[in-house]
Structure 1
Amino acid sequence: MNVREPLSVLKGFGPKSAEKFQKLGIYTLEDLLLYYPFRYEDFKSKSVFELIDGEKAVITGTVVTPANVQYYGFKRNRLGFKLKQGEAVVSVSFFNQPYLADKIELGQEIAVFGKWDSAKQSITGMKVLAQVEDDMQPVYRVAQGISQASLVKVIKAVFDTGVHLELKETLPQVLMDKYRLMTRSQATAAMHFPKDLAEYKQALRRVKFEELFYFQMNLQALKAENKSESNGLAIAYDEQKVQDKIAALPFPLTGAQKRSLDEILADMRSGGHMNRLLQGDVGSGKTVIASLAMYAAYTAGFQSAMMVPTEILAEQHYLSLQELFPDLSIAILTSGMKAAVKRTVLSAIADGSIDMIVGTHALIQDSVVYHKLGLVITDEQHRFGVNQRRLFREKGENPDVLMMTATPIPRTLAITAFGEMDVSIIDELPAGRKPIITRWVKHQQLDSVLNWVKSELAKNAQVYVISPLIEESEALDLKNAVALHQELSEYFAGQATVALMHGRMKNDEKDAIMQDFKDKKSQILVSTTVIEVGVNVPNATIMIIMDADRFGLSQLHQLRGRVGRGSKQSYAILVANPKTDSGKERMKIMTETTDGFVLAEADLKMRGSGEIFGTRQSGIPEFQVADIVEDYNILEEARRVASEIVKEKNWQTDEQWAPIVQNLKEKTDFD
């Protein structure tokens, strides 16, 4: 028997059983061995004085009252008795298990596993244990037709064959010695059936390191390949022209902008392929840096393209590029364009008479043929899938790639989530920008807020009002927004026009409403959806967020960034009566800082990476046991050691790293 064989080699394991296990992604004996539990029940007895409310635990004691079964309704009953542990007497209940009454005798010493209720000093039983078990019981994720017991039974049967000893070691001996790691077969056995907590922790350390190390090896190898001089375009831009353009800007660049631009231009000039993330808070001036990079490409005879998520944003970037470079030929390309106009633009892109192109994902359609594409910029990169970005790269001769995001990604994660990319961070705001004043008010204070809004409207201010977010229901979101729109329309009747925008509208409807707001045809905009990232309405100075505690910090910060785009003082008002400590904490920290990076770190600690990124869209892998927030120290070490290995010139032929090369070949298309 070997680990690569299908489950059907096991005795009594037919095609039907195999089909059920495939739902869990288990096809071979190796898949089964590496299908780890996600937690353990610890069946060591505890003192009732140590227990926390809601905790699942085992308590032992002497039965001091007879077991009594009460029936109420069809097949519904409750078995109850009392247990004495030392000085404490505990009420025990089992629901719908009347047969247990025969097992419980007065004066008997028993162990009960269940859920503790500290207010009632009672335990709701799940299991009566004949004796206290000292071992830790694994708990697995299961699918329909597979019970915990049957899964454990099959896993035990596989371990009994000893086939796990054949699992190939994936880590080189030098790393095993350096970090004092268990072997792969030892760790696999201890992940399922640990002798004790200490052994389990050692197994967990080994498995986490392996997962994070291979994640980093892939990223570092990819990064090294990108950097190879033969892999990209050497864009020999005209330095003097770029410097003259910077000098002609109506404002000086900040130190962080200069640093980021230098990093981008150095990448463009090198023969390696640029793959860089430009990260900066809302209003930090990323667009001007991206525009200067596009201009540098133009001076070297290359076209550049900027892809943004929406047509209104494309329009905005198009106008700002025209303003910055009035002498250049700039085009816009969106799916909503008339066919004849689109044909003209496509023909001009193909013959090279267009220098810069801004558009939506229309830029990567088959019909678009670039003349000489040297630089590709994607704005709000997490809105575009990996495949869309790949299609863009294939449009030219492997053009340099710059991705921009206004989502402040915690420094601890940027290096990981975008490990194959270089990261430039703009972490200071341009001079003259006033920090947004943020206030947290309770619902009871809303009247005085609206009264203050009246006085601001008289000074020509414009206001966003974000309707509360109900995660479970878009229909309820809409209902809330419609009601809020109606209330505000009545409240501000005769003084302001109140517009409504929501997720059920078509894109062109939303664009039209947003354009009207920008043109000051409406003064108040009620919206359910997050107002489009990056849309610039310099006159909007007030952002009111209803039920703000329903949003995460990163989302609140993104919303707040819709105001404060001009030179006027701007305000964000968070309306919330949070019931939880973390809700109160979020409101408090929002009023204390406008630094997106500080908030992103705090959000990460409160909510974890999955919720912030939406793991599937971000490209961050979902690890089986590792967690990039909790295990950041292991991740950092894995990154450091992977980076060192990849820097070695002949690492792929060095005997000591052979297990790594072998494993990368098996797991990926690495060569």
Structure 2
Amino acid sequence: MGLNWLDSIDHLKGVGPARVKLFQQVGVSTVRDLMFHFPFRFESVAVRPLATILDQEKVTLKGKVVTPPVVAYFGGKKSRVSFKLAVNDHEIINVSFFNQPYLKQAIQLGQERAIYGKWQSNRQTLLGMKLIQVAQEGQDFAPVYHATKGLKQSAIVASIAASFNQYQEAIPEVLPQHLNDQYRLLDLPLALYAMHFPSDQEQHHQATRKIIYQEFFLYQWRLQAALKQHETEPGLQIHYDNDQLKTWISHLPYELTQAQKQVVNEICRDLMAQHPMRRMVQGDVGSGKTLVAFLAILASLSGGFQSALMAPTEILAKQHAQSFNQLFASMGMEAALLTSAMTAKAKQAVLDGLANGQIQVVIGTHALIQETVQFKQLGLVIIDEQHRFGVGQRQALVDKNDKIAVNLLQMTATPIPRSLAMTLYGEMHVSTIDQLPKGRQPITTRWLKEDQLEELEDHVAQELEAGHQVYYVLPLIESSEHL
């Protein structure tokens, strides 16, 4: 078999079992991992005239060792390694490392070394802090990598160099060539090599362009692949009663905006489709996202399926449940509330109702994803403020119907430009409510500095005197569904 860059790094020369374990601690197991273990910065080892270096400035100097290193011990366990270094061809400086006696073995007479330390101009001495591993002869900068105890920079550089020496031909080009040509991108083998050992700063910049473009390309490709998979995956079709839904909408105390109508139509089309709905609804605060979610619940209800709406806090879950019941209780529909703060008896009643199908609509917090919550026929899952939940938490609720993929509707008040929405939620269809209901006051947002606090207090006082309410939003140290 030929070389494969997914081979374990123990295939590389100089990488034994001990080094394999150390690399695993920094997330490197394969040759590919090693090639993508990029330096987080470069040390400059460019030649600088000593006269341009400020006293006490931290700098890296490169030169030839012209005297053997000598170790002197003093004050018990304290020590100093000293030697002379010829820099800029003819200038001789002193180099001292304190309390690192083992460095004597790493420094040899006549050797080229790059040393990072603090310059003392009056003594013409560099107080060494560490030896820098220069990757190539004549290179004016050295890569610095994330490491772990026992894994030296020199070992990382040597291993990465070995990976390219042995596996350069095994690096596959990922991007289509026409994209490389169109955006003037380096081939992947050269780009990866230049991320570690660039010939100059411009080549490193071009390598970075290629790696960043490829990362975003693959990210979008995966999202599009996920969307295509959803569209071929068998889903739960909800044959809702359109006439019944129109009747319920006609009994609402206010008229839907055109934007709300459009989003409701998009959701209803998804419910009727043969693949599961994966839709994100975005809209500013006050645009009527919650009502759209409630109408999606009614559509699911008319088709004979249960719905669950999960909110990040108990307060919000209670508000949603109260709003739903105020709007639709007179039409014979009621939503149950489920939170972890409920008594065991009340909670069990809801669990029993969901399991036997007597409860068709439930609104709750994280309590909805507990294993004890079982549905008779769950058809629609709605996640409010979806950014407040992890991927696993959202999936846990979707998986409550283990027979077939249910329909998922997520809501966010965070304004997301279309391009960013497609990037972040490329695996979902995006609907936007871009109109406020009639009579809704526009929201004014102001940013005040600390020296304007008195102005804020005066404004609050005026609002209170006018009989209005004021509320503060304060950050929590830890998230809580109760607060």
Q: If the TM-score is normalised by the length of the shorter chain, which range does it land in?
A: 0.7 to 0.9
Change (3 A) 1:249 1:202: same
Partner of 1:38: 40
Amino acid at match of 1:294: I
Give the TM-score normalised by structure 2.
0.75
Of 35-44 and 366-375, more deviation after overlay is shown by 35-44
1:75-127 superposed Cα distances (whole Å, 9 cap, x missing partner): 899xxxxxxxxxxxxxx99997899xxxxxxxxxxx998999xxxxxx99989
The reply on whether 1:450 has 2:457 as its aligned counterpart is yes
- Cα RMSD between the aligned structures? 4.1
**Structure 2 residues without counterparts, runs of 5 or longer:** 63-74, 81-92, 101-113, 120-125
Partner of 2:174: 170
Deviation at 1:408, TM superposition (A): 2.4
Q: How does 1:198-213 map to 2 (within 5 A)?
A: 198-213=202-217
Partner of 1:354: 359
CA contact (8 A) 1:334 1:362 kept: yes
The reply on whether 1:300 has 2:308 as its aligned counterpart is no
Change (3 A) 1:59 1:147: closer
Distance 1:505 1:167 in 2: 45
Partner of 2:142: 137
Q: Structure 2 residue aligned with 1:392, among 382, 397, 401?
A: 397
Amino acid at match of 1:185: P
Amino acid at match of 2:420: L
Q: Structure 2 residue aligned with 1:246, among 240, 246, 249?
A: 249
Q: Secondary structure at the match of 1:332?
A: strand
Distance 2:214 2:58 in 1: 31
Q: Secondary structure at the match of 1:292?
A: helix
Distance 1:332 1:405 in 2: 21
Partner of 2:72: none
CA contact (8 A) 2:238 2:303 kept: yes
Deviation at 1:339, TM superposition (A): 2.8
Partner of 1:365: 370
Aligned length: 429
- TM superposition outliers: structure 1 runs of 4+ over 6 Å: 45-48, 55-60, 73-77, 92-99, 111-116, 123-130
CA contact (8 A) 2:237 2:271 kept: yes
Amino acid at match of 1:237: Y
Deviation at 1:276, TM superposition (A): 0.6
The reply on whether 1:418 has 2:425 as its aligned counterpart is yes
1:406-435 superposed Cα distances (whole Å, 9 cap, x missing partner): 222343321111110111112232232223
The reply on whether 1:403 has 2:410 as its aligned counterpart is yes
The reply on whether 1:235 has 2:225 as its aligned counterpart is no
Q: How does 1:488-637 map to 2 (within 5 A)?
A: 510=483
Q: How does 1:32-431 map to 2 (within 5 A)?
A: 32-41=34-43, 43-44=45-46, 135-160=140-165, 162-173=166-177, 175-176=179-180, 179=183, 181-228=185-232, 231-326=234-329, 327-396=332-401, 397-431=404-438
Deviation at 1:358, TM superposition (A): 1.0
Amino acid at match of 2:439: G
Q: Secondary structure at the match of 1:462?
A: coil
Deviation at 1:219, TM superposition (A): 1.1
Partner of 1:590: none
Change (3 A) 1:172 1:239: same
Partner of 2:20: 18
Deviation at 1:353, TM superposition (A): 2.4
CA contact (8 A) 1:379 1:405 kept: yes
Of 180-189 and 16-25, more deviation after overlay is shown by 180-189
CA contact (8 A) 1:45 1:58 kept: no
Distance 1:317 1:381 in 2: 15
Partner of 2:30: 28
Change (3 A) 1:334 1:446: closer
CA contact (8 A) 1:231 1:273 kept: yes
Partner of 1:433: 440
Distance 1:133 1:344 in 2: 76
Distance 1:412 1:46 in 2: 46
Give the TM-score normalised by structure 1.
0.56
CA contact (8 A) 1:136 1:194 kept: no
Distance 1:272 1:363 in 2: 24
Distance 2:255 2:145 in 1: 58
Deviation at 1:28, TM superposition (A): 3.0
Of 353-362 and 176-185, more deviation after overlay is shown by 176-185
Partner of 1:615: none
Change (3 A) 1:504 1:44: closer
Deviation at 1:225, TM superposition (A): 1.6
Partner of 2:85: none
The structure with the larger Rg is 2
Deviation at 1:344, TM superposition (A): 2.7
CA contact (8 A) 1:308 1:379 kept: yes
1:460-492 superposed Cα distances (whole Å, 9 cap, x missing partner): 33333456x7xxxxxxxxxxxxxxxxxxxxxxx
Q: Secondary structure at the match of 1:272?
A: coil
Partner of 1:459: 466
Amino acid at match of 1:27: S
Identity within the alignment, %: 43
Change (3 A) 1:13 1:112: closer
Deviation at 1:30, TM superposition (A): 3.1
Distance 1:244 1:503 in 2: 46
Deviation at 1:217, TM superposition (A): 1.8
Amino acid at match of 1:287: T
CA contact (8 A) 1:59 1:112 kept: yes
Change (3 A) 1:240 1:57: farther
Change (3 A) 1:133 1:112: farther
Distance 2:433 2:127 in 1: 55
Q: Secondary structure at the match of 1:419?
A: coil
Change (3 A) 1:5 1:431: same
Change (3 A) 1:163 1:445: closer
